[in-house]
Amino acid sequence: MNEQNSTVMSKVERYYKDYGIRARELKKEGKTVISYLCSLVPMEIITAAGLVPFRIRGNVNEPITKGDTNLETIACPFIRSCFDLSVKGWYDFCDGIVIPHGCDSMTRPYSTWRYTLGLPYSHFINVPHTVSGPSMEFFTEELNTFRKSLGRFAQKEIADSDLIEAIDLYNENRDKAKALYDLRKSDPPLISGTEMSKILTVGMSLPVTEANELFAEVLEELTQRKEAPVHKAPRIMVDGACIDNIDFVKLIEDSGANVVVDSLCIGTRDYLPHTDVGGDPLDALAHRYLDKINCPRTYREKAEGAYEKDLTARFGDIGSLGKEFKVDGVILYVYKYCDPFGFEVPARKAYLDSLNIPVLYLEDEYSAGIIGRLRTRIQAFLEMIE
Protein backbone atom coordinates (compact mmCIF):
# COMPACT_ATOMS: atom_id res chain seq x y z
CA MET A 1 0.00 0.00 0.00
CA ASN A 2 1.48 3.39 -0.88
CA GLU A 3 1.71 6.11 1.72
CA GLN A 4 -1.04 8.28 0.20
CA ASN A 5 -3.67 5.55 0.46
CA SER A 6 -2.63 4.29 3.85
CA THR A 7 -4.75 4.72 6.88
CA VAL A 8 -3.22 5.40 10.23
CA MET A 9 -3.54 1.72 11.12
CA SER A 10 -1.42 0.74 8.15
CA LYS A 11 1.19 3.16 9.44
CA VAL A 12 1.00 1.41 12.80
CA GLU A 13 1.33 -1.90 11.01
CA ARG A 14 4.44 -0.71 9.17
CA TYR A 15 6.07 0.58 12.36
CA TYR A 16 5.18 -2.65 14.14
CA LYS A 17 6.49 -4.98 11.45
CA ASP A 18 9.66 -2.99 10.87
CA TYR A 19 10.16 -2.09 14.49
CA GLY A 20 12.69 0.71 14.87
CA ILE A 21 12.34 2.01 11.32
CA ARG A 22 11.63 5.53 12.53
CA ALA A 23 14.51 5.54 15.00
CA ARG A 24 16.77 4.36 12.19
CA GLU A 25 15.60 7.27 10.03
CA LEU A 26 16.21 9.70 12.86
CA LYS A 27 19.68 8.30 13.34
CA LYS A 28 20.38 8.95 9.66
CA GLU A 29 19.21 12.51 10.20
CA GLY A 30 21.87 12.91 12.88
CA LYS A 31 19.85 12.22 16.01
CA THR A 32 21.26 10.18 18.87
CA VAL A 33 19.22 7.12 19.84
CA ILE A 34 19.35 5.65 23.34
CA SER A 35 17.89 2.18 23.73
CA TYR A 36 16.55 0.84 26.99
CA LEU A 37 15.02 -2.23 28.58
CA CYS A 38 11.99 -2.42 30.85
CA SER A 39 9.37 0.03 32.11
CA LEU A 40 11.59 1.34 34.88
CA VAL A 41 13.78 3.63 32.77
CA PRO A 42 12.52 7.22 32.93
CA MET A 43 12.17 8.05 29.25
CA GLU A 44 11.56 11.65 30.27
CA ILE A 45 15.24 12.08 31.18
CA ILE A 46 16.39 10.76 27.80
CA THR A 47 13.96 13.04 25.99
CA ALA A 48 14.97 15.99 28.17
CA ALA A 49 18.58 15.41 27.07
CA GLY A 50 17.49 15.93 23.48
CA LEU A 51 17.99 12.24 22.64
CA VAL A 52 15.62 9.68 21.17
CA PRO A 53 14.54 6.94 23.58
CA PHE A 54 13.95 3.56 21.95
CA ARG A 55 12.64 0.53 23.80
CA ILE A 56 14.30 -2.73 22.85
CA ARG A 57 11.82 -5.47 22.12
CA GLY A 58 12.26 -9.13 21.35
CA ASN A 59 10.71 -11.13 18.55
CA VAL A 60 8.86 -14.38 19.18
CA ASN A 61 9.33 -15.39 15.55
CA GLU A 62 13.12 -15.10 15.55
CA PRO A 63 14.96 -18.11 17.00
CA ILE A 64 17.51 -17.18 19.64
CA THR A 65 20.92 -18.14 18.27
CA LYS A 66 23.81 -15.69 18.44
CA GLY A 67 22.77 -14.32 21.81
CA ASP A 68 23.23 -17.71 23.41
CA THR A 69 26.97 -17.57 22.79
CA ASN A 70 27.23 -14.90 25.47
CA LEU A 71 24.12 -15.17 27.63
CA GLU A 72 23.02 -18.28 29.48
CA THR A 73 19.82 -20.04 28.43
CA ILE A 74 18.56 -19.93 32.03
CA ALA A 75 17.80 -16.22 31.64
CA CYS A 76 14.25 -15.05 31.01
CA PRO A 77 13.49 -15.96 27.37
CA PHE A 78 12.12 -12.50 26.65
CA ILE A 79 15.37 -10.85 27.76
CA ARG A 80 17.33 -13.47 25.82
CA SER A 81 15.41 -12.55 22.69
CA CYS A 82 16.07 -8.84 23.25
CA PHE A 83 19.77 -9.59 23.66
CA ASP A 84 19.83 -11.88 20.64
CA LEU A 85 18.30 -9.26 18.34
CA SER A 86 20.68 -6.65 19.70
CA VAL A 87 23.81 -8.70 19.02
CA LYS A 88 22.47 -9.60 15.59
CA GLY A 89 22.43 -5.91 14.76
CA TRP A 90 18.68 -5.36 14.53
CA TYR A 91 19.11 -2.22 16.61
CA ASP A 92 22.47 -1.12 15.28
CA PHE A 93 21.20 2.47 14.98
CA CYS A 94 21.38 2.87 18.75
CA ASP A 95 24.13 4.92 20.37
CA GLY A 96 23.60 3.75 23.89
CA ILE A 97 21.74 1.47 26.23
CA VAL A 98 20.16 2.02 29.63
CA ILE A 99 19.28 -0.94 31.81
CA PRO A 100 17.45 -0.59 35.12
CA HIS A 101 17.46 -2.94 38.07
CA GLY A 102 14.25 -4.63 37.02
CA CYS A 103 15.04 -8.28 37.59
CA ASP A 104 18.04 -10.61 37.76
CA SER A 105 17.76 -11.54 34.09
CA MET A 106 18.40 -7.98 32.97
CA THR A 107 20.64 -6.89 35.85
CA ARG A 108 23.09 -9.71 36.36
CA PRO A 109 24.34 -9.70 32.74
CA TYR A 110 24.66 -5.89 32.59
CA SER A 111 28.36 -6.21 31.77
CA THR A 112 27.53 -8.76 29.09
CA TRP A 113 25.22 -6.26 27.39
CA ARG A 114 27.64 -3.39 27.86
CA TYR A 115 30.72 -5.05 26.42
CA THR A 116 29.09 -7.22 23.80
CA LEU A 117 27.24 -4.33 22.19
CA GLY A 118 30.16 -1.94 22.68
CA LEU A 119 27.97 1.14 22.39
CA PRO A 120 29.37 4.60 23.08
CA TYR A 121 27.03 5.02 26.07
CA SER A 122 25.70 2.66 28.71
CA HIS A 123 24.19 3.18 32.10
CA PHE A 124 22.63 1.11 34.85
CA ILE A 125 19.87 2.58 37.04
CA ASN A 126 19.72 1.05 40.48
CA VAL A 127 16.04 0.90 41.37
CA PRO A 128 15.50 0.04 45.05
CA HIS A 129 13.19 -2.78 46.06
CA THR A 130 11.10 -1.05 48.68
CA VAL A 131 8.87 1.99 48.72
CA SER A 132 9.75 4.17 51.68
CA GLY A 133 11.15 7.59 52.54
CA PRO A 134 14.81 6.47 52.44
CA SER A 135 14.35 4.41 49.26
CA MET A 136 12.64 7.31 47.51
CA GLU A 137 15.45 9.66 48.54
CA PHE A 138 18.01 7.14 47.30
CA PHE A 139 16.22 6.66 43.99
CA THR A 140 16.00 10.41 43.41
CA GLU A 141 19.77 10.61 43.90
CA GLU A 142 20.22 7.67 41.54
CA LEU A 143 18.13 9.38 38.88
CA ASN A 144 20.22 12.49 39.37
CA THR A 145 23.34 10.40 38.72
CA PHE A 146 21.72 9.18 35.49
CA ARG A 147 20.75 12.73 34.57
CA LYS A 148 24.34 13.92 35.01
CA SER A 149 25.84 10.92 33.24
CA LEU A 150 23.53 11.24 30.25
CA GLY A 151 24.06 14.99 30.22
CA ARG A 152 27.81 14.45 29.91
CA PHE A 153 27.24 12.10 27.00
CA ALA A 154 24.79 14.44 25.28
CA GLN A 155 26.97 17.45 26.11
CA LYS A 156 23.94 19.17 27.48
CA GLU A 157 23.05 20.12 30.99
CA ILE A 158 19.59 18.71 31.59
CA ALA A 159 17.71 21.51 33.29
CA ASP A 160 14.60 21.14 35.42
CA SER A 161 12.69 23.00 32.71
CA ASP A 162 13.74 20.31 30.18
CA LEU A 163 12.46 17.63 32.51
CA ILE A 164 9.17 19.43 33.12
CA GLU A 165 8.62 19.79 29.39
CA ALA A 166 9.32 16.09 28.82
CA ILE A 167 7.07 15.08 31.72
CA ASP A 168 4.21 17.05 30.15
CA LEU A 169 4.75 15.32 26.81
CA TYR A 170 4.72 11.84 28.38
CA ASN A 171 1.69 12.65 30.49
CA GLU A 172 -0.06 13.71 27.28
CA ASN A 173 0.95 10.37 25.78
CA ARG A 174 -0.55 8.56 28.78
CA ASP A 175 -3.78 10.55 28.44
CA LYS A 176 -4.05 9.39 24.86
CA ALA A 177 -3.28 5.79 25.80
CA LYS A 178 -6.02 6.00 28.42
CA ALA A 179 -8.42 7.27 25.77
CA LEU A 180 -7.51 4.28 23.62
CA TYR A 181 -8.18 1.95 26.54
CA ASP A 182 -11.58 3.61 27.02
CA LEU A 183 -12.53 2.45 23.50
CA ARG A 184 -12.35 -1.11 24.84
CA LYS A 185 -15.01 -0.61 27.47
CA SER A 186 -17.91 -1.04 25.04
CA ASP A 187 -19.12 -4.53 24.20
CA PRO A 188 -17.92 -5.44 21.68
CA PRO A 189 -14.88 -3.16 22.03
CA LEU A 190 -14.16 -0.58 19.34
CA ILE A 191 -10.57 -1.71 19.13
CA SER A 192 -9.30 -5.26 19.25
CA GLY A 193 -6.63 -6.42 21.67
CA THR A 194 -4.37 -7.22 18.75
CA GLU A 195 -4.67 -3.69 17.36
CA MET A 196 -4.07 -2.22 20.80
CA SER A 197 -0.93 -4.31 21.33
CA LYS A 198 0.49 -3.06 18.06
CA ILE A 199 -0.23 0.58 18.82
CA LEU A 200 1.23 0.48 22.32
CA THR A 201 4.33 -1.41 21.18
CA VAL A 202 4.92 1.02 18.33
CA GLY A 203 4.57 3.94 20.75
CA MET A 204 7.70 2.75 22.55
CA SER A 205 9.76 3.01 19.38
CA LEU A 206 9.02 6.65 18.60
CA PRO A 207 10.01 10.02 20.01
CA VAL A 208 7.19 11.02 22.34
CA THR A 209 6.06 13.90 20.15
CA GLU A 210 5.61 11.52 17.23
CA ALA A 211 3.93 8.93 19.43
CA ASN A 212 1.50 11.64 20.57
CA GLU A 213 0.72 12.55 16.96
CA LEU A 214 0.25 8.91 16.01
CA PHE A 215 -2.00 8.17 18.99
CA ALA A 216 -4.08 11.27 18.16
CA GLU A 217 -4.52 10.09 14.59
CA VAL A 218 -5.45 6.61 15.77
CA LEU A 219 -7.98 8.03 18.21
CA GLU A 220 -9.51 10.21 15.55
CA GLU A 221 -9.91 7.30 13.16
CA LEU A 222 -11.12 4.76 15.68
CA THR A 223 -13.69 7.02 17.30
CA GLN A 224 -15.29 7.33 13.88
CA ARG A 225 -15.58 3.61 13.49
CA LYS A 226 -19.17 2.68 12.73
CA GLU A 227 -18.72 -0.98 13.58
CA ALA A 228 -16.59 -2.75 16.07
CA PRO A 229 -13.83 -4.83 14.47
CA VAL A 230 -14.77 -7.82 16.62
CA HIS A 231 -17.94 -9.57 17.73
CA LYS A 232 -19.27 -9.92 21.23
CA ALA A 233 -17.29 -12.57 23.05
CA PRO A 234 -15.92 -13.34 26.52
CA ARG A 235 -14.00 -10.32 27.79
CA ILE A 236 -10.50 -11.24 28.86
CA MET A 237 -7.75 -9.46 30.78
CA VAL A 238 -4.15 -10.54 30.28
CA ASP A 239 -1.99 -10.23 33.38
CA GLY A 240 1.76 -10.77 33.45
CA ALA A 241 5.15 -9.21 32.76
CA CYS A 242 6.02 -7.77 29.36
CA ILE A 243 4.23 -8.62 26.13
CA ASP A 244 5.76 -6.81 23.18
CA ASN A 245 4.18 -8.78 20.36
CA ILE A 246 0.69 -9.57 19.17
CA ASP A 247 1.02 -13.33 18.93
CA PHE A 248 -0.33 -14.27 22.34
CA VAL A 249 -3.17 -11.75 22.33
CA LYS A 250 -4.05 -12.82 18.78
CA LEU A 251 -4.10 -16.45 19.89
CA ILE A 252 -6.65 -15.59 22.57
CA GLU A 253 -8.77 -13.58 20.16
CA ASP A 254 -8.57 -16.26 17.50
CA SER A 255 -9.79 -18.70 20.14
CA GLY A 256 -13.02 -16.76 20.45
CA ALA A 257 -12.50 -14.03 23.06
CA ASN A 258 -11.87 -10.30 23.16
CA VAL A 259 -8.85 -9.07 25.07
CA VAL A 260 -10.24 -5.85 26.53
CA VAL A 261 -7.62 -4.84 29.06
CA ASP A 262 -4.31 -5.94 30.52
CA SER A 263 -2.03 -5.64 33.47
CA LEU A 264 1.22 -5.74 31.53
CA CYS A 265 4.34 -3.86 30.66
CA ILE A 266 3.75 -2.19 27.33
CA GLY A 267 0.24 -1.98 28.70
CA THR A 268 -1.56 -0.40 31.61
CA ARG A 269 1.38 -0.94 33.99
CA ASP A 270 3.58 1.57 32.24
CA TYR A 271 1.17 3.49 30.00
CA LEU A 272 -1.36 4.66 32.60
CA PRO A 273 0.49 6.08 35.63
CA HIS A 274 1.13 9.82 35.28
CA THR A 275 4.06 11.75 36.65
CA ASP A 276 2.97 14.34 39.20
CA VAL A 277 3.46 17.93 38.12
CA GLY A 278 4.04 21.10 40.07
CA GLY A 279 6.85 19.89 42.34
CA ASP A 280 10.47 18.94 41.84
CA PRO A 281 10.56 17.02 38.54
CA LEU A 282 13.16 14.49 39.67
CA ASP A 283 11.22 13.72 42.84
CA ALA A 284 8.12 13.27 40.73
CA LEU A 285 9.89 10.89 38.36
CA ALA A 286 11.26 8.88 41.28
CA HIS A 287 7.76 8.62 42.69
CA ARG A 288 6.28 7.51 39.38
CA TYR A 289 8.86 4.89 38.51
CA LEU A 290 9.31 3.42 41.99
CA ASP A 291 5.85 3.68 43.49
CA LYS A 292 3.30 4.12 40.73
CA ILE A 293 4.55 1.37 38.44
CA ASN A 294 3.19 -1.66 40.18
CA CYS A 295 5.70 -4.36 39.32
CA PRO A 296 6.21 -7.40 41.59
CA ARG A 297 9.94 -6.68 41.66
CA THR A 298 9.09 -3.85 44.08
CA TYR A 299 8.14 -4.96 47.57
CA ARG A 300 5.13 -3.25 49.06
CA GLU A 301 4.70 -3.14 52.79
CA LYS A 302 2.24 -5.49 54.33
CA ALA A 303 -0.95 -3.57 55.09
CA GLU A 304 -2.06 -3.44 58.70
CA GLY A 305 -1.02 -6.97 59.52
CA ALA A 306 -3.76 -8.53 57.44
CA TYR A 307 -2.77 -10.73 54.54
CA GLU A 308 -6.02 -10.15 52.62
CA LYS A 309 -5.49 -6.38 52.83
CA ASP A 310 -1.95 -6.92 51.69
CA LEU A 311 -3.23 -8.70 48.59
CA THR A 312 -5.49 -5.75 47.89
CA ALA A 313 -2.58 -3.34 48.30
CA ARG A 314 -0.48 -5.41 45.88
CA PHE A 315 -3.08 -6.35 43.28
CA GLY A 316 -5.91 -3.87 43.78
CA ASP A 317 -5.18 -2.20 40.45
CA ILE A 318 -5.82 -5.50 38.67
CA GLY A 319 -9.16 -5.87 40.44
CA SER A 320 -10.13 -2.30 39.60
CA LEU A 321 -9.31 -2.76 35.93
CA GLY A 322 -11.27 -6.00 35.87
CA LYS A 323 -14.29 -4.24 37.24
CA GLU A 324 -13.91 -1.16 35.05
CA PHE A 325 -13.58 -3.20 31.87
CA LYS A 326 -16.12 -5.81 32.94
CA VAL A 327 -13.85 -8.78 32.37
CA ASP A 328 -15.16 -12.33 32.40
CA GLY A 329 -11.80 -13.91 33.07
CA VAL A 330 -8.08 -13.30 33.49
CA ILE A 331 -5.24 -15.11 31.78
CA LEU A 332 -2.10 -14.91 33.87
CA TYR A 333 0.77 -15.26 31.42
CA VAL A 334 4.26 -15.69 32.85
CA TYR A 335 7.54 -16.49 31.15
CA LYS A 336 9.64 -19.39 32.29
CA TYR A 337 12.51 -18.35 34.59
CA CYS A 338 10.68 -15.19 35.68
CA ASP A 339 11.29 -15.06 39.44
CA PRO A 340 9.48 -11.77 40.20
CA PHE A 341 6.20 -12.91 38.65
CA GLY A 342 6.66 -16.63 39.20
CA PHE A 343 6.70 -16.29 42.98
CA GLU A 344 3.47 -14.28 42.83
CA VAL A 345 1.38 -16.75 40.85
CA PRO A 346 -0.40 -18.39 43.81
CA ALA A 347 -1.05 -15.00 45.46
CA ARG A 348 -2.32 -13.41 42.24
CA LYS A 349 -4.58 -16.40 41.67
CA ALA A 350 -5.82 -16.24 45.25
CA TYR A 351 -6.61 -12.55 44.88
CA LEU A 352 -8.58 -13.09 41.67
CA ASP A 353 -10.36 -16.04 43.26
CA SER A 354 -11.40 -13.76 46.10
CA LEU A 355 -13.06 -11.51 43.51
CA ASN A 356 -14.72 -14.52 41.85
CA ILE A 357 -12.88 -13.80 38.61
CA PRO A 358 -11.93 -17.02 36.78
CA VAL A 359 -8.21 -17.22 36.10
CA LEU A 360 -6.06 -19.33 33.81
CA TYR A 361 -2.33 -19.49 34.54
CA LEU A 362 -0.03 -20.19 31.60
CA GLU A 363 3.75 -20.45 31.60
CA ASP A 364 5.43 -19.85 28.27
CA GLU A 365 8.83 -19.61 26.63
CA TYR A 366 8.53 -16.57 24.34
CA SER A 367 8.50 -18.44 21.05
CA ALA A 368 5.90 -18.32 18.30
CA GLY A 369 6.88 -21.86 17.35
CA ILE A 370 5.43 -23.34 20.52
CA ILE A 371 2.83 -20.76 21.53
CA GLY A 372 0.16 -22.70 19.65
CA ARG A 373 0.27 -25.47 22.23
CA LEU A 374 -1.50 -23.09 24.60
CA ARG A 375 -4.52 -22.88 22.29
CA THR A 376 -6.29 -25.94 23.72
CA ARG A 377 -6.00 -24.69 27.27
CA ILE A 378 -7.24 -21.23 26.29
CA GLN A 379 -10.19 -22.72 24.43
CA ALA A 380 -11.07 -24.92 27.42
CA PHE A 381 -10.90 -21.89 29.70
CA LEU A 382 -13.16 -19.85 27.41
CA GLU A 383 -15.67 -22.69 27.29
CA MET A 384 -15.64 -22.79 31.07
CA ILE A 385 -16.40 -19.10 31.52
CA GLU A 386 -18.94 -18.80 28.71
Interface with another protein by CB under 8 A: which residues? 69-72, 74-76, 101, 103-105, 107-112, 115-116, 122-124, 126, 128-130, 132, 134-135, 137-138, 141-142, 145, 149, 152-153, 296-297, 299, 302, 305-307, 310, 334, 336-337, 339-340, 342-347, 349-350, 361, 363
Q: According to the 3-state scheme, what is the secondary structure of 199-243?
A: HHHHHCCCCHHHHHHHHHHHHHHHHCCCCCCCCCCCEEEEEEEEC
Nearer to another protein, 30 or 305 (CB): 305
What would the DSSP string read from start to end of 90-133? TTTT-SEEEEES--HHHHTTHHHHHHHH--SEEEEE---SB-SH
Strands in 258-265's sheet, in edge-to-edge order, are: 258-265, 235-242, 329-335, 359-364
- Provide, rounded to whole angstroms, the least separation between the CB of residue 340 and another protein: 5
CB of 95 to another protein, least distance (A): 14
The minimum distance between CB 273 and another protein, in angstroms, equals 21
Q: Which of 316, 277, 82 is nearest to 174 (CA)?
A: 277
Q: Which residue type does 257 have?
A: A
CA distances from residue 266 to 58, 133, 139, 180, 241 in whole angstroms, order as listed: 13, 28, 23, 14, 9
Q: To the nearest whole angstrom, how small is the minimum distance from the Cβ of residue 295 to another protein? A: 11
Question: What's the rounded Cα separation, in Å, for the pair 3 and 203?
Answer: 19
3-state DSSP call for residue 259?
A: strand
Q: For residues 342 and 358, which CB has a smaller minimum distance to another protein in the complex?
A: 342
The phi, psi pair for 305, rounded to 5°, reads: 70, 15
Cβ nearer to another protein, comparing 142 with 253 = 142
Q: Which is nearer to another protein, 22 or 297 (CB)?
A: 297
d(CA 10, CA 3): 9
| Shortest distance, position 47 Cβ to another protein, whole Å | 21
Of 182 and 283, which CB lies nearer to another protein in the complex structure?
A: 283
Distances (CA, A) of 245 to 6, 251, 368: 22, 11, 10
Residue 61 neighbours by CB distance under 10 Å: 11
Least CB distance to another protein at residue 320 (A)? 21
Q: Of the two residues 135 and 255, which places its CB atom closer to another protein in the complex?
A: 135
Q: Please, what is the minimum distance in Å from the beta carbon of residue 361 to another protein?
A: 6
How far is residue 92 CA from its own chain's centroid? 22
Q: How far is the CB of 248 from another protein (least distance, A)?
A: 17
Which residue lies nearer to another protein by CB, 181 or 337? Answer: 337
Which residue lies nearer to another protein by CB, 38 or 334? 334
My answer on whether omega of the bond before 188 falls inside 30° of 0, hence cis, is yes
